Chains A and B, each alone.
Chain A
Amino acid sequence: MKCKLLYGLAMVCLLAFGCSKNDDGSHVAPITLYEKVNGNWGLMNLKMVDEFAKKNAIEPSEQNLSSMFNYADFKINFNVDEKMQPTSYEVLGDVPPLFAPTGYWELSAAFQPTGQIPLMIYLYSDVQKTQKTDELRLSSVPGSNGEMEIQLTRTSEGTPFITYIFKLNTLNE
């Protein structure tokens, strides 16, 4: 009996410490969001949310536009340079320009912010990124499923009245 107990303890020790590996000091730069966002994205779904109706509990407060105005062909490329820094972006597909179809981009933060701070994609018309054209909210960060969600909110005097929600999937293969 005692013998078995000892074996058991030995096994537990082995499992707990047996495979630990000492840090050998090699260092890899942490993965930034640019690595996840860069690339080509296709549209899965486009929804238009009436923020005024939603706030006032009026139905309907949203409509699906995925099959309209050529949005089935909507694609967007977010490009980066060799240092994983954001460069240009481009919308492909003959769709109405809800936001500037070409330009330059950057994220509000290279890493996922903590708490309630929204993660934004800023769009600029110039390479120096001084002329901001639009702001997209990165409402769902790309994960292992290869999907992300961006939102374009129209506001007037600070009050949102429409949000377009683009659900995208990666075309990087």
Chain B
Amino acid sequence: MKKIIQIVLLTFLLLPNFVKAQTQEAGDVGAMWSFPVVYEYDEEVTWYFDLSGTTFLAESDVYLWMWSPSEPDAGNWENSSEFAKLTYEGNMVWSKTLTPTLYFSKTPEEIAASAGFWFRLKDKTGTLQSGVAQVAYTNFTTFYTDNQLIKSYPSAPTLDKGISILFNSNLQPGFEGATSVHFHSGLNNWDVKQEYQAWLPEIVEKTKLKDLGNGFYKMDLIPNEYYDVPDGYVMNNLVFLMVKDEWAATTPDHVLNAGEYIPPPPPEFRFFPLQLSKKDFLGIMRKNNEPGVNKLVYTITANDVILTGEFTGNVSEIKGFVNLVTPLQNVENLTSIHVLVKDNNNNVISDTTIPLKTVD
């Protein structure tokens, strides 16, 4: 009897530990970013979280658990609410779109005075949690007093990352009393343009800057989406000018040089295999193609037989195999083939004679 009591007591002693041990650590949240890049506390924003370094499963339901500036989902650790659920964006990145003042039921002043945006990410039932993390907030209010015409976050844009461009129209003569301000812009010295076409309602909307009040405006965009550039496009700069109403006034041209970009690796062309006979398949492959190159056109000459065809692909790789087996099975005295490969721009990629092995 005494033993039984001891066991029961021991069980109760261990129970809290057991319950606690049910929440597993998933690891720390990796890179975080937002769109818009800079935003007011009463502005809608999407936060992105890279969880590739955690044990959260791709596409799984992940929830936001925040306690600063307030605790919107308080008391629901074991059953997170739908409003706290993140959206899976692919590649182990999840996002949450919210307006801070609404989500936290706080005024902008209260949020500004708080300790910041502190959170964990978790599964619905609280059995898996990330480490404690903070969403960094970029305070851009100094722009209101800096007497600067244009300021961008970041200062150097990159093609696939967001950029916020602030404009102080008070410093640009002619912009007084503007009803709206529009972004007339392009990439690489106007190579790709998004003009301000004041007669097209959807373009008027797309190019419109957000009015921050008191003559201050903000433009938020992600270059590759905004300009819809082809795969592999290399951005060197973003050129723009601000336009008042229907071209009532403009700023001078501005150029933002693109952030240091990593030049793409050089193209790599090769045949596969390196040795072959007329009874085999010939692979033709090219990696790291230049932007716009998406096709390889081949002409293979084997004595009197000429084989032609093409393979399509993309910037990362174009690849295909030619069947030599069937068309060359009756070609006698064949010691080599001549292979000419051109791209879709008619540039010669390879002009080679390949010796053929004689099969034992």
Contact = CB atoms under 8 A, between A and B. Distances in A.
Interface string A45-79: 00010111100001010010100110000000000
Interface string A92-125: 0000111000000000000000000000000000
B338 interface: no
SS of B interface (majority): loop
A161 B323 contact: no
A91 interface: no
A158 B281 contact: no
B326 A97 contact: yes
A155 interface: yes
Nearest to B360: A155
Given A52-B274, A53-B273, A161-B273, A96 B360 contact: no
A162 B275 contact: yes
Contacts of A129: none
Contact of B276 (A65, A157, A161): A161
Interface string A137-171: 00000000000000000111110011000000000
Interface string B259-286: 0000000000000111111011101000
A155 B279 CA distance: 12
B325 interface: yes
Contact of A63 (B276, B283, B323): B283
A157 B277 CA distance: 13
B357 interface: yes
Nearest to B357: A156
A69 B309 CA distance: 14
Given A63-B283, A65-B321, A68-B321, A161 B360 contact: no
Interface in B314-335: 321, 323, 325-326, 329
B253 to A, nearest CB: 48
Given A52-B273, A162-B280, A96 B359 contact: no
Given A154-B280, A162-B280, A58 B358 contact: no
B329 A97 contact: yes
B281 A155 contact: no
Contact of B279 (A60, A69, A98, A157): A98
Q: How large is the interface on A (under 10, 10 to 19, 20 to 34, 35 or more residues)?
A: 20 to 34
A50 B272 contact: yes
Nearest to B324: A96
Contact of B281 (A58, A65, A156): A65
Given A156-B358, A162-B280, A96 B275 contact: no
A48 B360 contact: no
Contacts of A60: 272
Nearest to B276: A162
Contact of A48 (B273, B326, B329): B273
Given A98-B279, A154-B279, A154-B280, A162 B321 contact: no
B272 A156 contact: no
Contacts of B279: 98, 154
A72 to B, nearest CB: 14
Nearest to A68: B321
Nearest to B271: A50
Give the most central of A65, A98, A154, A157: most B CB within 10 Å. A154
A58 B271 CA distance: 12
A154 B281 CA distance: 12
B274 A50 contact: yes
A156 B360 contact: yes
A162 B273 contact: yes
B325 A161 contact: no
A87 B237 CA distance: 72
Contact of B272 (A51, A63, A161): A63
A98 B279 CA distance: 6
B274 A154 contact: no
A154 B359 contact: yes
B277 A156 contact: yes
A18 B272 CA distance: 64
B357 A154 contact: yes
Contacts of A96: 281, 323, 325-326
A58 B274 CA distance: 10
Given A96-B323, A97-B326, 19 more contacts: A48-B281, A48-B283, A50-B272, A50-B273, A52-B275, A53-B272, A53-B273, A58-B274, A60-B272, A63-B321, A69-B321, A69-B323, A98-B280, A98-B325, A154-B357, A156-B275, A156-B357, A156-B358, A162-B276
20 contacts: A48-B272, A48-B280, A51-B273, A52-B273, A52-B274, A53-B272, A53-B273, A60-B272, A63-B272, A65-B321, A97-B329, A154-B279, A154-B357, A154-B359, A155-B359, A158-B360, A161-B275, A161-B276, A162-B273, A162-B277
